């Protein structure tokens, strides 16, 4: 609020000022970007990176031994890809461990159920009748105490969409369902996986328990298992046993891993692209988010291979522990807050490996022209300019909330929630051609943002 009088003064003279400070991208840079785009489409670096990460490290749950291996891997990979500067920055967070999980229907229709603990769930063994709710609102509407001695079961089926929009509901059930269940007196929480597949692979993901509540064992069922419970409930009461061995176990310090291609004339100004290095433990983290690591490392590498470095520095960040609370993104924002104005713009790739279909930035009007120029350079990749749409990627969002300019490269997520946070998130699900299209888009975007004359509006919000 301290700057309000000054901003008002600027606004009065806005037309003249806007003209003088409108951000633009030089024609020479646009020509180079067109070459870069075609090179990227023919290049295998993105694929090679995600193949290496998912094969050599595999699952890399934040705080696990594989977390440390992934940090070492990322440093080595940045160096091998010719990045000029490579370093790590510490990220400390509570460590959650999964040991075992088991569930079954009891009684007349006894049979095993396939479940997975939600991240953050405590350990515990419960045998009780389940009570089904169609969605989170239905559970929240249940009378207080009505679930005493019972297991709450939210049976909401997510629908797939290119933009993954129904994760709004599926994700909310996972994050808020357990606390809602506890408030009604439930002993445990079960949910139909927040997913769109029909396989016996349960979808995990972090949950949280509201302050003052005593956490209860919380797990998700595979979609066929949820179907099964729903059918059994049509026949009468259903008792279930749930045995989870998992929980919080001290603190762990991992690292954001950062690689840079140094800018030629404004090396202290940076364009940030990145992805998160951690994954859930059930798959090998190919689409979430090995793909993003491959896409952004490859884009940085290809820019680094240009005969002439871009004007500004390209900074690629492999964020630590996105999955359990954007820990890497928060740590980066906290550490670099004072440098916010030197951050030209930032974009994260964290929505799988599907083709990018739309582009926008959250930049103010004076950077609209440059945004349009980047969109034009992306158009041959089948990417639409989508003014007014988009948001910052997860690890960018804590910094964006402070005023960092962000770009949005929207991936087709039609199959993302088939694979999200489950054992099926493996390399074979990635289409190398679609991945290369992503690399091309990130390379073009990052290069052009680095070459822009003018900024995209990053400044500290008061």
For a second copy, the binding residues (CB under 8 A) are 51, 55-59, 65-66, 105, 108-112, 114, 198-201, 223-224, 227-228, 231-232, 235, 283-284, 422-424, 426-429
- Strand (E) or helix (H) holding 50: helix 45-52
Give me the helix-helix angle, 27-41 and 432-451, nearest 10°.
Answer: 160
Q: In the bound complex, what is the minimum distance in angstroms from residue 228's beta carbon to a second copy?
A: 6
Q: Which residue lies nearer to a second copy by CB, 49 or 258? A: 49
Q: In the bound complex, what is the minimum distance in angstroms from residue 99's beta carbon to a second copy?
A: 12
Q: In the bound complex, what is the minimum distance in angstroms from residue 360's beta carbon to a second copy?
A: 34
Q: Report which DSSP code applies to 285.
A: -
> Cβ(165)–Cβ(391) under 8 Å?
no
Q: In the bound complex, what is the minimum distance in angstroms from residue 114's beta carbon to a second copy?
A: 7
CA distance readout (Å), 4 to 7, 11, 338, 462: 5, 10, 20, 9
Q: Which residue lies nearer to a second copy by CB, 191 or 286? A: 286
CA distance readout (Å), 302 to 90, 443, 451: 27, 7, 15
* Nearest-angstrom CA–CA distance, 171 and 193: 10
- Strand (E) or helix (H) holding 19: helix 14-21
Q: Which residue lies nearer to a second copy by CB, 35 or 125? A: 125
Q: In the bound complex, what is the minimum distance in angstroms from residue 435's beta carbon to a second copy?
A: 16
Q: Which residue lies nearer to a second copy by CB, 284 or 296? A: 284
What is the DSSP pairing of strand 356-361 with strand 384-385?
Answer: parallel
Q: In the bound complex, what is the minimum distance in angstroms from residue 318's beta carbon to a second copy?
A: 19
* Nearest-angstrom CA–CA distance, 251 and 339: 28
Query: Under 8 Å CB-to-CB from 393, ≥6 apart: which residues?
Result: 347, 348, 349, 350, 406, 408
Tell me the two tokens of residue 264: 């030629």
Q: Which residue lies nearer to a second copy by CB, 125 or 146? A: 125
Q: In the bound complex, what is the minimum distance in angstroms from residue 39's beta carbon to a second copy?
A: 26
Q: Which residue lies nearer to a second copy by CB, 303 or 427? A: 427
Q: Which residue lies nearer to a second copy by CB, 406 or 417? A: 417
> Cβ(407)–Cβ(445) under 8 Å?
yes
Q: Which residue lies nearer to a second copy by CB, 58 or 263? A: 58
Q: In the bound complex, what is the minimum distance in angstroms from residue 425's beta carbon to a second copy?
A: 9
Residue 65, Cβ density class (10 Å: 0-12 exposed, 13-18 middle, ≥19 buried): exposed
User: Using omega within 30 degrees of 0 as the cis cutoff, is the peptide bond preceding 237 cis?
Assistant: no
At 453, phi and psi to the nearest 5? Answer: -90, 105
Residue 333, Cβ density class (10 Å: 0-12 exposed, 13-18 middle, ≥19 buried): buried
Q: Which residue lies nearer to a second copy by CB, 66 or 186? A: 66
> Cβ(276)–Cβ(71) under 8 Å?
no
What is the DSSP pairing of strand 312-319 with strand 266-276?
Answer: parallel
Q: In the bound complex, what is the minimum distance in angstroms from residue 129's beta carbon to a second copy?
A: 18
Q: In the bound complex, what is the minimum distance in angstroms from residue 174's beta carbon to a second copy?
A: 20
Q: Which residue lies nearer to a second copy by CB, 285 or 457? A: 285
At 406, phi and psi to the nearest 5? Answer: -130, 155
Q: In the bound complex, what is the minimum distance in angstroms from residue 243's beta carbon to a second copy?
A: 14
Q: Which residue lies nearer to a second copy by CB, 129 or 372? A: 129
Q: In the bound complex, what is the minimum distance in angstroms from residue 195's beta carbon to a second copy?
A: 13
Pinpoint the alpha helices (H) of 184-305: 223-233, 291-304
Q: Which residue lies nearer to a second copy by CB, 113 or 370? A: 113
User: How many other C-beta atoms are found inside a 10 Å radius of the C-beta of residue 289?
Assistant: 33
Closest CA to 289 of 37, 45, 82, 49: 49
> Cβ(310)–Cβ(443) under 8 Å?
no
């Amino acid at each position: 609020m301290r700057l309000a009088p000054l901003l008002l003064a600027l606004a009065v003279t806005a037309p003249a000022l806007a003209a003088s400070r409108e951000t633009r991208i030089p024609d020479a840079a646009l020509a180079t970007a067109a070459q870069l785009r075609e090179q990227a489409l023919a290049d295998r670096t993105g694929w090679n990176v995600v193949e290496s990460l998912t094969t050599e490290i595999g699952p890399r749950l934040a705080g696990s031994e594989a977390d440390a291996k992934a940090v070492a891997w990322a440093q080595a990979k940045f160096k091998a890809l010719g990045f000029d500067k490579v370093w790590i920055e510490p990220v400390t967070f509570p460590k959650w461990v999964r040991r075992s999980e088991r569930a079954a229907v009891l009684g007349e229709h006894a049979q095993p159920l396939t479940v997975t603990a939600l991240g953050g769930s405590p350990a515990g063994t419960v045998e009780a009748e389940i009570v089904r709710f169609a969605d989170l609102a239905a559970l929240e509407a249940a009378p207080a105490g009505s679930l005493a001695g019972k297991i709450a079961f939210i049976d909401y089926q997510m629908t797939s969409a290119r933009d993954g929009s129904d994760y709004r509901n599926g994700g909310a059930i996972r994050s808020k369902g357990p606390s809602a269940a506890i408030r009604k007196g439930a002993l445990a929480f079960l949910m139909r996986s927040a997913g769109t597949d029909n396989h016996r692979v349960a979808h995990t993901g972090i949950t949280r328990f509201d302050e003052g509540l005593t956490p209860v064992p919380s797990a998700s069922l595979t979609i066929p298992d949820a179907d099964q419970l729903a059918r059994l409930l049509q026949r009468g009461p259903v008792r279930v046993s749930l045995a989870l061995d998992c929980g919080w176990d001290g603190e762990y310090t991992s690292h954001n891993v950062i690689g840079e291609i140094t800018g030629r004339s404004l090396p202290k100004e940076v364009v940030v692209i990145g992805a998160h290095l951690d994954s859930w433990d059930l798959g090998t983290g190919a689409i979430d988010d090995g793909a993003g690591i491959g896409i952004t490392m490859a884009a940085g590498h290809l820019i680094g291979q240009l005969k002439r470095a871009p004007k500004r520095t390209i900074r690629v960040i492999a964020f630590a522990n996105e999955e359990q609370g954007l820990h890497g993104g928060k740590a980066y924002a906290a550490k670099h807050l004072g440098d916010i104005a030197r951050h030209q713009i930032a974009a994260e790739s964290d929505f799988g490996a599907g083709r990018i279909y739309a582009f926008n930035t959250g930049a103010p009007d004076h950077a609209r022209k440059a945004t349009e120029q980047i969109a034009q350079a992306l158009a041959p990749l089948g990417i639409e300019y989508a003014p007014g749409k988009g948001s910052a990627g997860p690890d960018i969002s804590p910094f964006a909330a402070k005023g960092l300019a962000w770009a949005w490269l929207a991936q087709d997520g039609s199959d993302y929630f088939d694979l999200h946070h489950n054992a099926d998130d493996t390399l074979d699900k990635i289409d190398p051609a679609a991945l290369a299209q992503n690399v091309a888009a990130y390379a073009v975007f990052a290069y052009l943002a680095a070459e822009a004359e003018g900024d995209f509006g990053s400044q500290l919000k008061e």
